[in-house]
Amino acid sequence: MTKNSSPAKKDENVKGKWDQVKGFMLGVWYELKKVHWPNRQQLLAYTGVVLVSVAFVAILIWIFDMGLSFALDRLFKAFA
């Protein structure tokens, strides 16, 4: 029985894969050059908005959790 791929064929496949990876990375680099990156002032403003939003949502979840814990505690004590 003979094998379908010879050693030369494997080298071509490896080179083809590396060419694909190289092409992909060049495409990524090209797309990143088109991105509008924020300046320092915008970056600080966006970071502040994200931190305030995360803190607000965390507080809402904490309040909901405490309320639910209180309600369930009362419910279990009433029927225990």
Checking if the pLDDT of 67 tops 60, the result is yes
The residues spanned by each domain of the chain are 1-35, 38-80
Band of the pLDDT at 3, cuts 50, 70, 90? low
Query: How far is the C-alpha of 48 from the C-alpha of 55, rounded, in Å?
Result: 11
Residues 7, 9, 10, CA angle at the centre, nearest 5°?
65
Q: Which one-letter amino acid corresponds to residue 26?
A: L
More confidently predicted of 9 and 51 = 51
Report pLDDT digits (tens) over 18-65.
999 999 999 999 999 999 999 999 999 999 999 999 999 999 999 999
> 46 and 38 in contact (C-beta within 8 Å)?
yes
Band of the pLDDT at 4, cuts 50, 70, 90? low
Tokens 């931190």 belong to which residue?
51
